[in-house]
Amino acid sequence: MRTLNWMVPASLLLSLAAVAQQPADSQPASQPAPTQMSAPANTPDAAQPTAPVPMQTSAPANAQPAPPPPAAQPTTMDQVVDRFVLREKGLIKMLQMRTPVIETYLQNLQLDPALGPVPKDDKYFLGRMDLSTSIDRKDYIPDDQSMEKHLLGGFSKLFKIQYQPLGFSWMIFADRNDFDRQHYDFRYVRREFLGEVRCLVFDVTPKPKSGQGRFLGRIWVEDQDYNIVRLNGTYAPRPRNAYFFHMDSWRLNLIPGYWVPAFIYSEEGDFSAGAKNQLAFKAQTRIWGYDLRKEGESDELTNIRVDSVKDDSPTAQDASPLAAEREWQQQAEDNVVERLTRAGLLAPDGDIDKILQTVVNNIQVTNNIDLPRPVRTRVLLTSPLETFSVGNTIIISRGLIDVLPDESSLAMALTHELAHIVLGHNLGSKYAFNDRMLFSDESTYQNLGFKHIPEEEAAADKKAVDLLKNSPYAQKLDSAGLFLKMLNTRAGALNALLTAHLGNNMTEGAAVTRMSTLMGSAPQIDWNKLDQIAALPMGGRVKLNPWDDKVELVKSQPVAITSARDKMPFEVTPFFPRLTRTGTTDSTGTAGSAANATPTPTSAANTNSPSN
Ligand SMILES: [Zn+2]
């Protein structure tokens, strides 16, 4: 059964996961694909059967907000302004009950003569945002610096540059309290399409003496219900001792009638000749988990898991000691997966897991590994590069999948964890006790951990290399090694990206330790070789639906790389999601297309899956 399974998908995956190095392979490989992944982008409907449909899947316990009642179409621009001001208030009200997860990943930049601005160091913030009365956030990672929460949208310049996590979340709304004609002037500019959505564009300026920190910039308003779908600008005037940085904030139509904040890109810096700007950074802020249950809200029945061990054998008996041990592990595994999902850190089981499991299966089949229970995979929704396993579930972060250049490097990442499982390095059985699942979402990182001792890490690396050499990826390990080499060159500047929060780090100090022997046989990094893609920019591969947390692989259009500066390995790039409308009440054909709205890095490095 298994042996039949692996041959087809092994080649199928290349077309999905690989970058431009293999353009020729992907055409035939996409033919037998039973899954959504090979569906080319030229027929938008092809993705429909398997694309997540966020609208129908929300839990009944946490019902979706009702769409706003229909209103008469405005006939003048003044009426349009009144309408989007009203719609903005409606959005703020709807989101009051939500506590989405918010993540900001920031790279400080320095100028490299050959490569342009490159990361110098980085910072990472992850928290839950409470949108009830003002915008506030609780962070998963304790901040080493005091947080001046009320310094809006900026960072203090008093002693050193100190980023305010809250600042990056500020532009989810233009102005939470006073977005109206009394405080702002709105000037209509033109009509413009963003993706499939026709928008009216307005310049927004604060009225004189309307106070500090008012929105200054441009908004895009969709022309059906007049919701704001994009905000681009900054805040003004700025108070002393603080900056407001520039932001580009995007919303997605994930539920009928509302466009919810999903991505915010921030950038500062001037590298032109003569510029004396010490400040230069790029940051991506992502928001998801809108449908997560608010802490303590009708949670009593779900906190304690009682149904994870099912006995469906006809001659039920007490478990043998070994069987009991396995059931115990299974129970711990189920508890952890469920808890991480509820904390907004793990995507629900989805199509992307079929891809990941196929890769794992390829390794297992060719190495004759027969485990008592099948290996499962899940995607951690965060950016830092990490993998870990609990019981038989391998977990890999979205950020890591994003930057891996091809399937063999994905195999490398997963096989390390498979090796832990094969070697019996089971961690986390203590989580079979349900009391250990009772903690606040924000304290997840303090309560769960799956770090192995160095001896187990070394043993897993060694085993993993053996497994890979005996697998369909044996001839393609060069690219995995090249990926690690690139990681090695950038490791010193990417400490935050490389700090694992649940598993082991892939690096130590500023050097790659994970699977490091693969670097030995890899080719040299050649920046000027335009078809050598060692690693991709952040955010180019996995699309995340911020409403229901489902993930899938991106089908992005190939963009030609024209210079070394286009490669941007591990780098932050702007968001440019293709906006689409979710299914409206009278339309059945376009439902669920929210998943199509995905940030596409402007980078040319993301030249995967040629689709025509
Ligand atoms: Zn490990």
Q: What is the 3-state secondary structure (H, E, C) of 65-122?
A: CCCCCCCCCCCCHHHHHHHHHHHHHHHHHHHHHCCCEEEEEEEEEEEECCCEEEEEEE
Q: What percent of the chain has pLDDT over 70?
A: 73
The band of 232, judged by pLDDT with boundaries at 50, 70 and 90, is: very high
Q: Which residues pair with 263 in a beta bridge?
A: 250, 286
501-517: burial string, b at 16+ Cβ within 10 Å, e else: bbbbbbbeeeebbbbbe
pLDDT of residue 126: 87
**Per-residue pLDDT tens over the stretch 170-221:** 678 888 888 999 999 999 999 999 999 999 999 999 999 888 778 899 999 9
State the distance from the centre of ligand 1 to the C-alpha of 416, rounded, in angstroms: 6
State the distance from the centre of ligand 1 to the C-alpha of 412, rounded, in angstroms: 12
Q: Which residues pair with 266 in a beta bridge?
A: 247, 283
- Tell me, what amino acid is at 8? V
State the distance from the centre of ligand 1 to the C-alpha of 388, rounded, in angstroms: 6
pLDDT of residue 77: 92
Q: 10 Å Cβ neighbour count for 76?
A: 8
pLDDT of residue 282: 93
Please report which residue ranges of 18-76 form alpha helices under DSSP H: 23-29, 54-57
**Nearest CA among 579, 576, 593 for reference residue 537:** 576
Looking at residues 585-595, what average pLDDT do you find? 36
The band of 292, judged by pLDDT with boundaries at 50, 70 and 90, is: confident
The band of 293, judged by pLDDT with boundaries at 50, 70 and 90, is: low
**Per-residue pLDDT tens over the stretch 254-274:** 999 999 999 999 988 877 777
The answer to whether residues 194 and 220 touch, using CB atoms and an 8 Å cutoff, is yes
Q: Kindly report the length of the chain.
A: 612
The answer to whether residues 223 and 198 touch, using CB atoms and an 8 Å cutoff, is yes
Whole-angstrom CA distances from 113 to 156, 273, 565, 572, 610 are 30, 12, 10, 19, 32
Contacts of 363 (CB under 8 A, 6+ apart): 369, 411, 414, 415, 418, 467, 468, 471, 473
pLDDT of residue 303: 44
State the distance from the centre of ligand 1 to the C-alpha of 483, rounded, in angstroms: 18
C-alpha 467 chain-centroid distance? 29
**Nearest CA among 170, 178, 226 for reference residue 202:** 226
Structure token digits, residue 590: 């376009």
- Specify the DSSP class assigned to residue 2: H
Residue 534 and residue 7: Cα distance in Å, rounded?
26
Residue 456 and residue 587: Cα distance in Å, rounded?
55
State the distance from the centre of ligand 1 to the C-alpha of 501, rounded, in angstroms: 13
Q: Is the pLDDT of residue 477 over 90?
A: yes
**Average pLDDT for the chain:** 78
State the distance from the centre of ligand 1 to the C-alpha of 107, rounded, in angstroms: 26
pLDDT of residue 558: 65
State the distance from the centre of ligand 1 to the C-alpha of 382, rounded, in angstroms: 18
- Strand 154-156 relative to strand 184-194, pairing: unpaired
The answer to whether residues 410 and 401 touch, using CB atoms and an 8 Å cutoff, is yes
Residue 230 and residue 195: Cα distance in Å, rounded?
12
**Nearest CA among 232, 245, 270 for reference residue 163:** 245
Residue 293: burial class (beta carbons within 10 Å; 0-12, 13-18, 19+): middle
Q: Is the pLDDT of residue 147 over 60?
A: no
Structure token digits, residue 7: 């041959």
pLDDT of residue 577: 87
Instruction: Give the least confident one: 28-37, 97-106, 492-501, 594-603.
Output: 28-37
pLDDT of residue 192: 96
State the distance from the centre of ligand 1 to the C-alpha of 312, rounded, in angstroms: 34
Residue 355 and residue 349: Cα distance in Å, rounded?
12
Q: 10 Å Cβ neighbour count for 53?
A: 19
pLDDT of residue 535: 93
Map residue 345 onto helix, strand or coil: coil
Residue 335 and residue 352: Cα distance in Å, rounded?
21
The answer to whether residues 544 and 286 touch, using CB atoms and an 8 Å cutoff, is yes
DSSP 372-410: SS--EEEEE-SSS--EEEETTEEEEEHHHHHH--SHHHH
pLDDT of residue 20: 30
**Per-residue pLDDT tens over the stretch 425-439:** 987 788 988 888 888
**Measured between alpha carbons, how far apart are the two ends of the chain, in Å?**
33
Map residue 145 onto helix, strand or coil: coil
State the distance from the centre of ligand 1 to the C-alpha of 415, rounded, in angstroms: 10
pLDDT of residue 66: 84
**Nearest CA among 512, 535, 418, 504 for reference residue 468:** 418
State the distance from the centre of ligand 1 to the C-alpha of 467, rounded, in angstroms: 15
State the distance from the centre of ligand 1 to the C-alpha of 572, rounded, in angstroms: 26
Q: What is the pTM of this model?
A: 0.80
State the distance from the centre of ligand 1 to the C-alpha of 124, rounded, in angstroms: 22
The band of 29, judged by pLDDT with boundaries at 50, 70 and 90, is: very low
State the distance from the centre of ligand 1 to the C-alpha of 514, rounded, in angstroms: 8
Q: What percent of the chain has pLDDT over 90?
A: 49
**Per-residue pLDDT tens over the stretch 339-365:** 999 999 999 999 999 999 999 999 999
Residue 533 and residue 537: Cα distance in Å, rounded?
10
Looking at residues 399-424, what average pLDDT do you find? 96
Residue 432 and residue 442: Cα distance in Å, rounded?
21
Residue 401 and residue 404: Cα distance in Å, rounded?
5
State the distance from the centre of ligand 1 to the C-alpha of 457, rounded, in angstroms: 5
DSSP 565-600: GGT-TT----------PPP-TT-STTTTGGGG----
pLDDT of residue 6: 32
The band of 394, judged by pLDDT with boundaries at 50, 70 and 90, is: very high
Looking at residues 478-505, what average pLDDT do you find? 95
pLDDT of residue 610: 34
Peptide bond into 239 cis (omega under 30): no
C-alpha 66 chain-centroid distance? 27
pLDDT of residue 345: 95
The band of 59, judged by pLDDT with boundaries at 50, 70 and 90, is: very low
Looking at residues 559-580, what average pLDDT do you find? 89
pLDDT of residue 25: 32
Residue 311 and residue 313: Cα distance in Å, rounded?
6
State the distance from the centre of ligand 1 to the C-alpha of 420, rounded, in angstroms: 7
Q: Is the pLDDT of residue 78 over 70?
A: yes
State the distance from the centre of ligand 1 to the C-alpha of 449, rounded, in angstroms: 12
Q: 10 Å Cβ neighbour count for 61?
A: 11
State the distance from the centre of ligand 1 to the C-alpha of 315, rounded, in angstroms: 39
State the distance from the centre of ligand 1 to the C-alpha of 307, rounded, in angstroms: 30
Helix axis angle, 2-17 relative to 351-366, nearest 10°?
130
The band of 3, judged by pLDDT with boundaries at 50, 70 and 90, is: very low
Residue 429: burial class (beta carbons within 10 Å; 0-12, 13-18, 19+): middle
State the distance from the centre of ligand 1 to the C-alpha of 141, rounded, in angstroms: 22
Q: Is the pLDDT of residue 468 over 60?
A: yes
Q: What phi, psi does 265 have (nearest 5°)?
A: -105, 135
Structure token digits, residue 293: 């249950």
**Nearest CA among 402, 400, 417, 403 for reference residue 359:** 417
Residue 329 and residue 378: Cα distance in Å, rounded?
17
pLDDT of residue 473: 96
pLDDT of residue 428: 77
C-alpha 194 chain-centroid distance? 22
State the distance from the centre of ligand 1 to the C-alpha of 401, rounded, in angstroms: 17
Give the residue with greater pLDDT, 239 vs 516: 516
State the distance from the centre of ligand 1 to the C-alpha of 414, rounded, in angstroms: 10
Q: What is the CA radius of gyration of the chain?
A: 24
State the distance from the centre of ligand 1 to the C-alpha of 390, rounded, in angstroms: 11
Structure token digits, residue 466: 């053996």
> In the block, which residue shows the tokens 């009200």?
93
State the distance from the centre of ligand 1 to the C-alpha of 460, rounded, in angstroms: 6
Map residue 229 onto helix, strand or coil: strand
Instruction: Give the least confident one: 83-92, 398-407, 441-450, 473-482.
Output: 441-450
